[in-house]
Amino acid sequence: MAIVKEKVQQETIEQIEKVLTKHKGDSEALIEVLHQIQQLVGYLPHDLQKKIADQLEVAPGEVASVISFYAHFSDQPRGKFQVALCKGTACYVKGSVDIINKIEQKYDIKAGETTEDGLLSLDVVRCLGACGLSPVMTVNGKAHGMINPEKAINIIEKYLRNEM
């Protein structure tokens, strides 16, 4: 099993090197590179951010501010199931804060955090562009609309039981 894990890590390192080499000195490719590397690693650790800054020839501070500006990027390990709750106006009016509170309480995490078992992470995001379905939650990018605290927990539990 350890050998398989090592192989996966080696493959990931090679893929990261490939992305960085392809965009060497290309500061305009920053967002694209961050996106590709986050897909490979799952998040953007600080040592990797420095490497990206060096290769693309941008300031490390610029990499950090792009990551913090876009909710899509994270510098922390994310859960297997990434839950995002919309706190845009339409969702807010229809009670998204109660849903966020319920999830935080039930799984003992705050927005931006991941549970200790690495299964669940929670983010609060701006309008997801599906206001007609408010309040809206996404899990690994799949939208679930017209939810309430109980429905949200039921949906998350199904993901955790691998029923969705």
Output the smallest distance, CB 91 to ligand FES, in A. Answer: 3
90: contact with ligand FES by CB under 6 A: yes
124: contact with ligand FES by CB under 6 A: no
Give the CB-side neighbour count of residue 103, counting CA atoms within 13 A.
32
Q: In terms of DSSP bridges, do strands 137-139 and 81-86 run parallel, antiparallel, or are they unpaired?
A: antiparallel
Output the smallest distance, CB 32 to ligand FES, in A. Answer: 26
144: contact with ligand FES by CB under 6 A: no
Output the smallest distance, CB 145 to ligand FES, in A. Answer: 8
Q: Pick from 122, 128, 139, 147 the residue near ligand FES by CB under 6 A.
A: 128
What does the radius of gyration of the chain's CA atoms come to, in whole angstroms?
18
Of 37-45, 57-65, 71-79, 83-91, which segment contacts ligand FES by CB under 6 A? 83-91
97: contact with ligand FES by CB under 6 A: no
- φ/ψ of 125, rounded to 5, equals -125, 170
- H-type alpha helices, 83-164: 89-93, 96-107, 149-160
Q: What is the dihedral of CA 159, 107, 92, 76, to 10 degrees?
A: -80
Residues binding ligand FES (CB under 6 A):
86, 88-91, 127-128, 130-131, 134, 136
